[in-house]
Chains A and B, each alone.
Chain A
Amino acid sequence: MTDVAETCVQENPVERYLRMDRIPHIWCPGCGIGTTVNCFARAIEQADVDLEKLAIVSGIGCTGRVAGYLNFDSFHTTHGRAIPFATGLKLANPDLKVVVYSGDGDLVAIGGNHFIHAARRNADLTVICVNNFNYAMTGGQAAPTTPLDAMGTTAPYGVCERPFNLPFLAKSCGAVYVARWTTYHVRQITKAMVEAMNKDGFSFVEIISPCPTLYERRNRLGSGLDRMKWFKENSVIKNGSDTRNIDIAYQQPIICGKFVDIDRPSLLEVTEAKIGDIRGKQRWADVSRRQKKSIEQTE
């Protein structure tokens, strides 16, 4: 009996990482965002991260609210601008571990330009993208991730555009870590988050999530639970897949796995080496003289 009572009063292991004074959260029943937050809370325990130096940056939308529920230095920024905000934060204090946590519309539609450039420059950021195939906060509009032919409130006859293949986009722009999982794969998500956070440079985790209130309902795909069953039955794990071949088509199998895990000097590494070089060389009088001369010339 005592054991049971003790078990009952035990703190939920992830509570300490959440702002419990803000619970209940705003997410709908069956939504997958909370699942990913649970995974994240478990991942930070395993990752090589100083929790006092961890900063979470979100943009706008349902996933954009994640920053507000995580009990770390957290920034709920403008729509699409989480990545550049985070880039400034990280560069101005490289001791921080900066995680961008946002949705597909925020990161790759309005924020798409920032996404590709952060990957290109290998900015020292971990980007977690919860992809629920639509703009949920505003009521289920089509997104650049909505599969061709799927319905959205702004695509009442089905989407006419090919969606982004996010792992391919991230990889081709230079990301050093790229993985995709669904919210059914909680252990793999956690592991991917740990691996992503332990990388230097731009790491990217896409998590396919149900949005039962909007995407699933409009497309008659059932409840959140139905969707989890569908993820279970229709996910194909292919680690190391060529990201060119993992497009998501409407109600077709979703290829999951870790696709990229490489090393490439990160933005900070390159910057620090170059600046160290500039300062180092300055000790030699001739370079110093040239430096001064070039400054004078610009005057």
Chain B
Amino acid sequence: MKTDPAGVLTGAHYLDGDFACGEGAMAAGCRFVAGYPITPSTEVVERISRRFPMMGGTFIQMEDELASMAAVVGASWTGTKCLTVTSGPGFSLMMENIGLAAMMETPCVVVDVQRGGPSTGLPTMVGQADMMQARWGSHGDYELIALCPQSPQEAFDLMIDAFNLSEIYRIPVMFMMDECVGHMTEKVVIPEADQIEIVPRKLTSQTPEEFLPYRVNGGYVPEFARAGDGYRFHTTGLTHNEHGYPVMSAECQEQNVRRLIYKIRDNADQIVRFEDDGVDGADIVLVTYGITARVAQMAMEMAREQGVKVGMMRLIIAWPFPEKRIKELAGKIKAFVVPEVNYGQMVLEVQRCAEGLAPAVLVSHGGGGVHEPETIVEAIMGAAK
């Protein structure tokens, strides 16, 4: 279905990544946002809180990020598309109710504009060190989807996809921005509303008598009933059966959690998304994401000038990780080079998926800045020897 034009600021704009992200959410049909101020993400909610009244959206500034995430999960049960926005320290607090969203199968989107960490770290400066936290941060086993925009335009475009994916799979979707992408200002083209395809909440067509909130009939994703529609359903963060009732047993755990995991794993081929540049025939493949992809672009060109056959695989969706593609490339190339603004996170995934067929070389940066392209070139030259 096409999106509600009320949220779409059609035209060419000069926006920073945070504003573009906010515009993307509104264009995607998001109408409830709960947030707590944190640098470098606050501009997203500043933008939304200004524009929301004109489109019937509700913004509330909560008392902390625990509350923001809880409010978002609650609001989503009215069928409203919901968003919260934060950075590392707040992301840590949100983990509790991200787990609840995963367990209750509640669609929502969480933006993390990454800054340097750990702890308070570098509030105003870039980091990419929350990538593993996005995947594993809440306790227990679950799967989710994480996207990594590399520009304000992508912050807008991918936001639409983030909301759509959260609806399709009924999961919390992580939107892994970074301070550079959040604060860089570039041209952002926002299409007409009738050019924006959105996925509405899949409301059940069953009667309240037949409806069970977690019955999937052999599928992966249950139908949704909104609060107030007369279904009188129950949902819980406890391990539950298809009635949504808690059942404390290994059998119920297996039924419940296996489906949470496999609704993503079995659909990973459809979900994974990356962009290749000169990967075919390359000896060295850069695996990058977010702002680092743009720095690596220059490094790649510099290395090519020196005669190295180097390509780049840019992760647009980091989780689920493109395992098959990495393994396939590993058999054909000399090495992967993985620059990231952390001390080695996604490189571990590359190493795992390469299964020893090709080494994966980390080019780390602790945060507070981005790589010098020369540092990446050096790593490429070293790996190409």
Give the B-binding residues of A (Cβ under 8 A): 19, 21-22, 52-53, 55, 57, 67-68, 71-78, 80-81, 83-89, 91-93, 95-96, 113-114, 117, 271, 274-275, 278-279, 282, 291, 294-295, 298-299
Contacts and interface: CB of A to CB of B under 8 A. Distances in A.
A233 B62 CA distance: 43
A282 B72 contact: no
A95 B14 CA distance: 39
B14 A87 contact: no
B234 A77 contact: no
B261 interface: no
Interface stretch (B77-85, B197-205, B292-300, B377-385): B77-85
B75 A92 contact: yes
B246 A76 contact: yes
Given A73-B232, A282-B54, A92 B66 contact: no
Given A76-B237, A78-B237, A91-B32, 10 more contacts: A52-B230, A68-B236, A68-B246, A75-B234, A75-B235, A76-B236, A77-B74, A88-B71, A96-B78, A298-B46
Would you call the interface of chain B mostly helix, strand, loop, or mixed?
mixed
B220 interface: no
B88 to A, nearest CB: 20
A88 B234 contact: no
Nearest to A19: B234
A92 B232 contact: no
Contacts, number: 149
B70 interface: yes
Contact of A85 (B53, B70, B226, B243): B70
B205 to A, nearest CB: 18
B227 A84 contact: no
Interface string B43-77: 00011001101100010101110111011111111
Contacts of B64: 113
Given A72-B232, A113-B63, A275 B53 contact: yes
Given A68-B245, A81-B66, A88-B34, A96 B74 contact: no
B15 interface: yes
Contact of B100 (A71, A77, A83): A77
B67 A114 contact: yes
Contact of A92 (B46, B78, B236): B78
